[in-house]
Amino acid sequence: MTIRAIERAMNVLQELNQQPINTIAQLHARTKLPKPTLVRILRTLEEAGYVENDTRQGGYQVSALVTSLSSGFHKGPLVVEAGRAWAIAITRKHKWPVAIGLPEYHDIVVRFSTVPDSLVSPFHSTVNKRLSMLSRGMGLAYLAFLEPEDRDVMIDILQKSDDPENALSHHREELLRVLNHVRKNGYATRSPTVEPRNSDTIAVPIIAKNGRVLASLGLTYFKSAFASDQEARERYVPILKSAAVAISEDLNRLSSSMAIEETSPELEIC
């Protein structure tokens, strides 16, 4: 098997994680892989025990064995550790799923999500999902609060992307107006031009004590649950902003605690 074949198989496995049941047609539409290739990959994953073909529901689903793939992962970035409890608390009280996203190259990647804790989540799974900086609420919330020099570097990188959702990077003046609007309001939302359109995400930046933006915190809801998007924003923006401040404070305490632990052996020797 070539490296390219492994990459394709992992992409298919990741797509299978997004929905409880996946048909060949759905996977073909999302991955753009030829259907014969998908069939071969799915058969291989099925033989390995990672995928099940559920004939009753008419599609493929991941098996319990998939959970073993993450058994060696023990700890995420410190900001995720600091934000985990706050994200869970928001979902428990308000029911909607909350996510923490970190930058990776020209995307925001979801590193923690409370989708498993939400009964009203628009998505089956979002962990490790890549989101555009320019069309997704979590991406815009991060990009808008970067220092100007860092922001300009990121825009230059985005201009080299062939992702249609990054097209705004080629219209710098318009993009800067959008980012200034986000910065003024203190939060961002998903672009109405991208799917899914039956839901929206409200996101705020998580900013360290030194003023550096580290991540973004987002809450996703079904639009039909509210009379207007403004109603949802008035309800959840203050909650998300307060949580982001609390996460920053907890992160500062965690960082200080780790610094003490790292220096304590030297203190004992002295």
Q: Which of 128, 123, 118 is nearest to 69 (CA)?
A: 128
Query: What is the mean pLDDT of the segment spanning 120-129?
Result: 84
Which residue has better confidence, 1 or 15?
15
SS3 101: strand
Query: What is the mean pLDDT of the segment spanning 212-230?
Result: 97
Q: Residue 216: how many CA atoms within 13 Å on its side-chain side? A: 34
How far is residue 175's CA from residue 180's CA, in Å, rounded to a whole number?
Answer: 9
Q: What is the amino acid identity at position 52?
A: E
DSSP single-letter state for residue 49: T
Quick: pLDDT tens for 54-100.
Answer: 887 788 988 888 777 765 554 458 899 999 999 999 999 999 999 99
> Options 2.40.50.140, 3.30.465.10, 1.10.10.10, 3.40.50.11260; which CATH number does 3-70 get?
1.10.10.10
Token code pair at residue 4: 């390219």
Per the CB < 8 A criterion, the answer to whether 131 and 138 are in contact is: yes
What stretches of 77-147 adopt beta strand conformation (E)? 98-104, 107-113, 130-132
SS3 66: helix
Q: Which of 140, 142, 174, 155 is nearest to 244 (CA)?
A: 142
Please determine, for residue 269, whether its predicted confidence score (pLDDT) is greater than 70.
Answer: no
Per the CB < 8 A criterion, the answer to whether 215 and 102 are in contact is: yes
Rounded to the nearest 5°, which phi and psi values hold at 202? -105, 130
Quick: pLDDT tens for 3-49.
Answer: 788 888 888 888 888 778 889 999 999 899 999 999 999 999 999 99
Q: Where are the domains of the chain?
A: 3-70, 78-259
How far is residue 38's CA from residue 52's CA, in Å, rounded to a whole number?
Answer: 14
Residues 102, 143, 124, 49: is their CA dihedral positive or negative?
negative
Q: What element of type H or E holds 90? A: helix 78-94
CATH number of 78-259: 3.30.450.40
Query: What is the mean pLDDT of the segment spanning 107-126?
Result: 89
| Global model pTM greater than 0.85 | no
Token code pair at residue 75: 């700890």
